[in-house]
Amino acid sequence: MPASESEVLVGRRYLERGFLDAAMKLFVRNAELVTAADWTGLAERLMQRNRINDAVRVSELGSVPLPRDRFLALGDAALKRKDIDGAMRLYELGNADRERWTRFVDILTRLPDRARQAVEVAERHLGNAPEPETVDDGKAPRRIKAVK
């Protein structure tokens, strides 16, 4: 079925009125005629309703960037509510920075049943930590000999 300008126009009106599923259906059907602004607007409205999967799908279909800042803000809120799995998913989608992953691991280490997950997250997101700086005070390093 050929793409239709009128269906895209109707989809825009649906989006303005908050009928996201109807707008998404028409936009997907006529993807080649939908502008990046339309895809971005739809993704933002989906994010407002916490429809993360749909927002990711729409962003991919429209070749528009994912709303990274929004993912990270939602991830922070989820972490504050102790929604560990939700926060992890949102942080991964938003490509969270080292500071957020450190805070995430800190919270995981407060939960003994999440030890394995804490180790996996630390390896994946904090594994290539920069080496601690050594202080060069001009003295030779002390050699400590083990004694039995």
**Gap between the Cα atoms of 88 and 94, Å rounded:** 10
> 5-61 sits in which CATH class?
mainly alpha
Instruction: Report the sign of the C-alpha dihedral through residues 39, 43, 44, 49, in that order.
Output: positive
- Contact at 8 Å (CB) between 72 and 96? yes
Per-residue pLDDT of 104-137, as tens digits, reads 999 999 988 999 999 999 999 988 655 455 555 6
Cβ-count burial of 90 within 10 angstroms (0-12 exposed, 13-18 middle, 19+ buried)?
A: buried
pTM above 0.75, yes or no: no
Q: Tell me the DSSP string of 37-49.
A: HHHHHHHHHHHHT
Q: What is the pLDDT of residues 13-58, one digit of tens each?
A: 999 999 999 999 999 999 999 999 999 999 999 988 989 899 999 9
Query: 143: helix, coil or strand?
Result: coil
Q: Where in the chain is the domain with CATH 1.25.40?
A: 5-61
The answer to whether the beta carbons of residues 47 and 70 sit under 8 Å apart is yes
pLDDT tens track for 49-69: 989 899 999 999 999 988 888
